[in-house]
Amino acid sequence: MHPSSPYQLLHQSSECPARCGRVSTLHGTFDTPVFMPVGTLGTVKAVTPENLVELGAQIILGNTYHLFIRPGHELIRTFGGLHGFMHWDRPILTDSGGFQIFSLRELAKITEKGAEFRSHLDGTKLCLSPEDAVHVQEALGSDIMMVLDTCIPYPATLDEAARATALTARWARRCRRAQSDSGQLLFGILQGGMYPELRREAAAELIDIGFDGYAMGGLSVGEPKELMHEMLDASVHLLPDSHAKYLMGVGTPEDLVEGVYRGVDMFDCVMPTRNARNGMLFTSRGRVVIKNSCNREEQRPVDEQCYCYTCRNYSRAYLRHLFQSREILAYQLNSIHNLHCYCSLMADMRRAIAEDRFMAFRKTFYEQREIPHQE
């Protein structure tokens, strides 16, 4: 039923489902729990691959939909895949494009065949079937490919969610059949909307097909945070502990801590880089809006507990000046800081799990931020 798993469990918390492990891919291993910086267009915005290595990124994410449209997967194939094209020699995960088609659904039509859509760039009519999604990702040469899925909006009726979940399952089976023996991994995606019974049925179907890892999709699509946690609680334990569990598109530092607490291994989100470009920085004590006037003459770094390149070398006053002046360097320095914050948070959690003190870590995490402790 299951292919041999590329996931190896290293430590399991005795206090909660939190765990740390290692995933093996064609371009090396990465340790979990892990945060994957998002490089939608073949670049993590405003930072170089060398920046990413320095700040501790082990694996990054690219997007099938966007790269399929521009510059095209066949062009990227001629460079030896995305690794050669973008000068990154560590693992890459590619999202199948399902979420982008969901986001641009006014341009898309979902049928049994696949997603028919118009390019958001020039309106060209295109089609992406489950088989196409796999073949494009194989051309991109990603280490972890995702099945094409249908993301369910919130709110959705039980009937709407059931139809979309069943279609995702049929597409998942087609993706598995289309996969070649390239050595690239293929992860299934658990949908089901906000209905635990649908997620139970979907999990059983995915496990029957058998994937190299399993993702939870359709969360963080506008539902209240409490409902997201409820659905996460209802989903994580449905997936086999022998395989990596990936929560797609999530989220804030608090979301990462809560996901790890519940047994999630992998995360991705545009938030650290997008917020950096908007002047919102994450710190060990909460969020800093760099343009605020209180930072005008501030000689301290963004976070005195942070050892990233930005905090080692630049003051809040300088970062505020760059941001107010719309200097390109503002986006790079802010992005380096936020990504380092996320990657170091994951490293701290891996260490806490390995030393079996995750619950104490979680408690301190909230106390530092003066956020009510989650129970």
SS3 349: helix
Which listed residue (143, 255, 268, 303) is catalytic?
Answer: 268
Asked if 128 and 101 touch (Cβ cutoff 8 Å), the reply is: yes
Give the number of other Cβ atoms within 10 Å of residue 360's Cβ.
12
Q: Kindly state the tokens that stand for 36.
A: 């994957």
In Å, how far from its chain's centre is CA 364?
25
Q: Kindly state the tokens that stand for 372.
A: 């009510």
Give the number of other Cβ atoms within 10 Å of residue 327's Cβ.
13
Distance CA 146, CA 35 (A): 17
Distance CA 131, CA 36 (A): 25
241 a catalytic residue: no
Distance CA 83, CA 91 (A): 8
Q: What share of the chain is helix, strand, coil (3-state, %, to 5)?
A: 45, 20, 40
31 a catalytic residue: no
Q: Identity (one letter) of the amino acid at 56?
A: G
Asked if 286 and 303 touch (Cβ cutoff 8 Å), the reply is: no
Torsion of CA 58, 62, 64, 65, to 10 degrees: 150
Give the number of other Cβ atoms within 10 Å of residue 195's Cβ.
20
Which listed residue (31, 95, 159, 303) is catalytic?
Answer: 95
Distance CA 171, CA 131 (A): 9
Distance CA 45, CA 38 (A): 8
Closest CA to 67 of 115, 133, 148: 133
Q: Map tokens 């118009």 to a residue.
A: 118
Residues serving a catalytic function are 95, 268
